[in-house]
Structure 1
Amino acid sequence: APKYVGNALTLCSWVNGDKRWERVVQGWLQFDEAVGFEPSSKEYARLPTAGRPKEVGTWISHARSATFHPDVTLPRFADEFAKWWRAMQPEGRDVIEGEFIGLTKPADIDWTELKISGSNGMVSVVGALAWWYKAAYDLPKEKTSKTGRSGQKRELEIRKLNQVLDEVIYTFGKLNES
């Protein structure tokens, strides 16, 4: 496997995530491995950069280093990721109002334009999720201030993260079957 795969897997293990996280990583690996870790087509060689969190671009410019761990700020990073993710979805997947990342799941979606493998593909989504996961779980569990908001912030950010992980697991499932 190419170097970017090893780097991404090292980054993924640094997260020390739960079963949901493992399903994201397995979904990505299965997807990229199916096309030999190469871009699946010349037309779809890279994910869109519009609205992409700046940390992702910096990671790419650092050759997708396994040890690049940007200090992501929540909720800013979560909001940017959600916008980027929604913008790259194929036609027919509509935003579900009132949900952080909710998108409709019609049966007749053409996933072609999201089947972006290789070093400029879905690995960037996995990298971004790794930093977000770590940042959310590193938030304080206890009330550290008189307002008691920090523990609530952690719960809220983990809830948003889990919605996104479920959405990404769903998407990898569709990419792997189409």
Structure 2
Amino acid sequence: PEWVKNARIFLETGPQSVEWSGVVDKWGVCEKLLDYPSATSRRHWVGKTKRPFAVGQWMQEGKHYERIPQLGNLAGFGDAYRRWWTSFQPGWRSDSEHAWPLKRDGDDQTFENLAKGGLNGLLIFLIPLVWW
């Protein structure tokens, strides 16, 4: 879909590293596996809980990739982003919202609640990483 192409073009303006390219590629695979959900599919929306103000502002203003919001203090933005990301994780990944880094291996546990595709899904977590 066109929105995937546009999102990929934007994400590719992020860090020029093998790791970031891998993240972008894996995001593309996730979208394909989820069958490119519509932006109106509420079950694919990520929650607003603890979302940084700049992200919400950018979304309310139409999600224009070329309009990067003011992030304010970068350390503060980073802390807010981490709290937001952590709040969206499966419970087995951490014992508290302050735990960092998050657990990566949960034996038989899943990341099912992270299976959010579309314009309002996991992409919303990746876009601020390009800004930052």
What is the TM-score normalised by the length of structure 1? 0.63
C-alpha contact (below 8 Å) 1:117/1:123 kept by paired residues: yes
Compute the displacement of 1:86 (Å): 0.7
Amino acid at match of 2:126: V
Compute the displacement of 1:97 (Å): 10
Amino acid at match of 1:63: G
Over 3 Å counting, the alpha-carbon distance change for 1:93 and 1:124 in structure 2 is same
Query: SS of the residue aligned with 1:37?
Result: coil
5+ long unaligned stretches in structure 1: 133-178
Percentage of pairs with the same residue: 24
Cα RMSD after superposing both structures: 2.3
Over 3 Å counting, the alpha-carbon distance change for 1:98 and 1:58 in structure 2 is closer
Q: Aligned residue pairs: how many?
A: 128
Compute the displacement of 1:16 (Å): 4.7
C-alpha contact (below 8 Å) 2:30/2:117 kept by paired residues: yes
Deviating runs (4+, > 4 A) in structure 1? 95-99
Using the TM superposition, name which of 11-20 and 113-122 deviates more. 11-20
Over 3 Å counting, the alpha-carbon distance change for 1:9 and 1:59 in structure 2 is farther
Compute the displacement of 1:45 (Å): 2.1
Query: SS of the residue aligned with 1:48?
Result: coil
Amino acid at match of 1:131: W
1:162 is aligned to none
1:13 is aligned to 12
